[in-house]
Amino acid sequence: MSDPAIEARSLAKRFGARDVLHDVSFTVPKGKTFAFLGRNGAGKTTTIRTMLGLLKPDAGQVRIMGLDPRRDAMEVRRRVGYLAEDQAMFGWMKGSELTRFLRPFYPTWDDGLARYLAGAFELPMETRVRNLSKGESRRLGLLLALVHRPGVAILDDPTLGLDPIMRKEFLRDVVEHLQGSGVTVFFSSHLLYEVEPVADEVAILDGGRIIRQASTETLRAGVKQLLLPAEAADELPKLPGVLDVRKGDHATAVIVEAAEDALRVLGEAGIHPQVVDLNLDEIFEAYVAGRRHGISDRQPVVERVA
Amino acid sequence: MASPIGSLLWKEWREQRWKLGYGCGTLGAFTAIGLRARLLPDLGIVFLSGALGAGIMSALVAMGLVAAERDEGSLECLLALPVRPAVVLITKLAVGAAACLAPLAVAAAVACLMAGGREMTTGRILLAYFGCGEFALCALVWFTAFGLRQPTEAQAVLVAIIVFGVWYAIHIVFTELPYGWDEPGALTGMAHPFGFSVFLTSPDRSYSAGHAAALLAVQAAEAGLLLLWALARFGRPGRATT
């Protein structure tokens, strides 16, 4: 197996008394699109800034294409395309001036690709950056992150502040120009339904901790909602991997991490629940809401309902 | 723009050129009007235009170097480039220094043309502006170093005003700063940012090249230390949003 494109091990970071990252570990294989999901304040940007060597972690380490971002910060930044969250560029520059300004910093800069992407993204390159719309500005940021042909593209909440149509267009651009090109994409977002069509693998970050990392297929295949009749809830056996429980008047909804195992246990007890597929948004909510409600995924369901 | 440094210099020049133009026009006109009106002796006008130009330009330029970018949010973009933060700050200071010195050069040219040899020799006028230029560079380094972490331009200017106020208070308290190395407390006078310009422009003070060189050496060492302090803090990011 080849070396991963990004590897983070036991990252920890505190700001004053606040524990922003705690034992964060993840691996991103080369050429994959990795979605880093978390609510606002979960620690996504801190993780990204640590990956780029802009922040020093209190503990743990990161490797980007085998390089240490603290020791080899310049080389990492040359090889990484970075689009910051709500990135502000130099408003007085025109798009063409901005590309001319940035070109000398990257030995692998490709003018042909810059022209191609400017056309593909329909960017007015002779307009000052401050006069671009939000969507154009984000697309210009994406162009600048890709034009030096990076091995890894880090996009920090790239659709933040865009309207739904612009978000779709932006994601279409990401899919068209990044996926299949061999570039590893690290994509942070709090809008989960967005990453669903583009992500190969997902990590869910909550309160500075990774609470799950898996491929999108594994998550969707494993995490299911089981709808049980209300009367069955009182006689439930202990279920493995419960993420969240919602008890209604007529039914109890139990979200489990490994539906197959839970269905086997329920089947042995003579209970046959209705199985509901969940999208990534609902899966994320189950993980995060379950933690918020103090539900540990290793507790038996009847105790939690009580 | 063939190299990263060339690129950074171009960017800084584009950002500072209006201040430079404004400074040259205003200070040149102020000096010309002052010398023409003769409300003050020539020395007074030269000192006033030099001190005002150096003080105001250094504060204006310093606030634009880092705080303006922090305020706009583009500093993050700059610090994420594959270039050392020290290189970014030094190119900023280099262009900032040019923006501070050019208006003083214009004022010196105006003063030499209009009043050279009238009450002061041309050499004395040039020496006075040289002293003010040295003060402008000191002030630029001080204001930049202390205003480096300020989130807005307004706060950076406030810091510059406070720094200037402290210098002035020291100047007032000591009344007559000792500038010579053989006077008691000489280092205080030599390290004070006003030191060199006051020393050069004092009409009643005799000086030697050795004194001037010692003053310059002390102030250069002081600026160097401040620069190191600034460099250590420049690359360090502020508190991140999560």
| CB-CB under 8 Å, B79 with A89 | no
Residues A162 and A40 placed together within one structural domain of the fold:
yes
**Of A19, A3, A33, nearest to A175 (Cα)?**
A33
Residue A149: left if φ>0, alpha if ψ -120 to 50, beta else—which one? left
**Do the domain assignments include residue B242?**
no
Closest B-chain CA to A45: B242
**Do the domain assignments include residue B38?**
yes
Residues 6+ apart with CB under 8 A from A223: A243, A255, A256, A257, A259, A278, A283, A286
Number of structural domains, chain B?
1
**Do the domain assignments include residue B241?**
no
Residues A131 and A242 placed together within one structural domain of the fold:
no
Which residues from chain B sit within 8 angstroms of residue A92, using beta carbons? 14-15
A45, A90, A101 ranked by CB distance to B241: nearest: A45
| CB-CB under 8 Å, B82 with A77 | yes
Residue B92: left if φ>0, alpha if ψ -120 to 50, beta else—which one? alpha
d(CA B201, CA A200): 72
| CB-CB under 8 Å, B79 with A15 | no
- What residue numbers bound the domain in which A184 lies? 6-218
Number of structural domains, chain A?
2
**Do the domain assignments include residue B181?**
yes
Predicted confidence (pLDDT) per residue in A237-246, tens digit: 778 888 888 8
CA-based nearest distance A80→chain B, Å = 10
CA-based nearest distance B143→chain A, Å = 23
| A131 burial level (CB within 10 Å; 0-12, 13-18, 19+) | exposed
Among A218, A253, A273, which residue terminates a domain?
A218
| CB-CB under 8 Å, B240 with A55 | yes
**Do the domain assignments include residue A241?**
yes
Residues A77 and A153 placed together within one structural domain of the fold:
yes
Which residues from chain A sit within 8 angstroms of residue B6, using beta carbons? 104
| CB-CB under 8 Å, B74 with A91 | yes
B81, B239, B242 ranked by CB distance to A41: nearest: B242
Secondary structure, 3-state, chain A = CCCCCEEEEEEEEEECCEEEEEEEEEEECCCCEEEEEECCCCCHHHHHHHHCCCCCCCEEEEEECCECCCCCHHHHHHHEEEECCCCCCCCCCEHHHHHHHHHHHCCCCCHHHHHHHHHHCCCCCCCEHHHCCHHHHHHHHHHHHHCCCCCEEEEECCCCCCCHHHHHHHHHHHHHHHCCCCCEEEEEECCHHHHCCCCCEEEEEECCEEEEEEEHHHHHHHCEEEEEEHHHHHHCCCCCCEEEEEECCCEEEEEECCHHHHHHHHHHCCCCCEEEECCHHHHHHHHHHHHHCCCCCCCCHHHHHC
**Do the domain assignments include residue A1?**
no
Which residues from chain B sit within 8 angstroms of residue A90, using beta carbons? 11, 72, 74, 77
**Do the domain assignments include residue A28?**
yes
Which residues from chain B sit within 8 angstroms of residue A49, using beta carbons? 237, 240
* Residue A60 forms contact with B (CB below 8 Å): no
Predicted confidence (pLDDT) per residue in B39-76, tens digit: 899 989 998 999 889 999 999 999 889 988 888 888 88
Residues A205 and A242 placed together within one structural domain of the fold:
no
**How many cross-chain Cβ pairs, A to B, lie less than 8 Å apart?**
80
Residues A184 and A231 placed together within one structural domain of the fold:
no
| CB-CB under 8 Å, B74 with A89 | yes
| CB-CB under 8 Å, A49 with B237 | yes
Given the structure tokens 């429980």, which residue do they identify?
A245
d(CA B142, CA B129): 20
* Residue A101 forms contact with B (CB below 8 Å): yes
**Do the domain assignments include residue A79?**
yes
CA-based nearest distance B23→chain A, Å = 21
| CB-CB under 8 Å, B7 with A45 | no
**Of A184, A209, A189, nearest to A36 (Cα)?**
A189
Residues A46 and A124 placed together within one structural domain of the fold:
yes
CA-based nearest distance A222→chain B, Å = 29
pLDDT tens digit at each of 306 positions of chain A: 578 999 999 999 998 888 889 999 999 999 888 999 888 888 899 999 999 888 889 999 999 999 999 889 899 999 999 998 877 889 999 999 999 999 999 999 999 999 988 988 889 999 999 999 888 888 899 899 989 999 999 998 888 777 788 778 777 777 777 777 788 999 888 777 777 778 888 898 988 889 888 888 888 888 888 888 877 766 777 788 888 888 777 788 888 888 888 888 888 888 888 888 888 888 888 887 766 555 544 343 333 333
| CB-CB under 8 Å, B4 with A49 | no
* Residue A134 forms contact with B (CB below 8 Å): no
CA-based nearest distance B159→chain A, Å = 25
**Do the domain assignments include residue B191?**
yes
* Residue B233 forms contact with A (CB below 8 Å): no
Q: For position A254, which CATH number holds?
A: 3.30.70
| CB-CB under 8 Å, B84 with A55 | no
Which residues from chain B sit within 8 angstroms of residue A11, using beta carbons? none
As a whole number of Å, the CA-based R_g of chain A is: 22
Among A190, A218, A246, which residue terminates a domain?
A218
- What residue numbers bound the domain in which B183 lies? 4-234
Q: For position A56, which CATH number holds?
A: 3.40.50.300
A84, A106, A208 ranked by CB distance to B77: nearest: A84
Which residues from chain B sit within 8 angstroms of residue A48, using beta carbons? none
Residues of chain B with confidence (pLDDT) below 70: 1, 174-186, 201-207, 236-242
In the sheet that holds A184-189, the strands lie side by side as A80-83, A152-156, A184-189, A33-38, A201-206, A209-215
Residues A182 and A52 placed together within one structural domain of the fold:
yes
Residues A102 and A54 placed together within one structural domain of the fold:
yes
Residues A203 and A245 placed together within one structural domain of the fold:
no
d(CA B105, CA B100): 9
**Do the domain assignments include residue B146?**
yes
d(CA A193, CA A196): 5
Mutual angle of helices A134-146 and A111-120, in 10-degree steps? 150
Residues A97 and A165 placed together within one structural domain of the fold:
yes
CA-based nearest distance A39→chain B, Å = 9
Among A181, A203, A218, which residue terminates a domain?
A218
| CB-CB under 8 Å, A90 with B74 | yes
* Residue A87 forms contact with B (CB below 8 Å): yes
Residues A232 and A200 placed together within one structural domain of the fold:
no
d(CA B215, CA A292): 65
Q: According to the model, what pLDDT value does residue B175 have?
A: 61
Return residues 63-82 of B near A (CB < 8 Å): 72-74, 76-77, 79-82
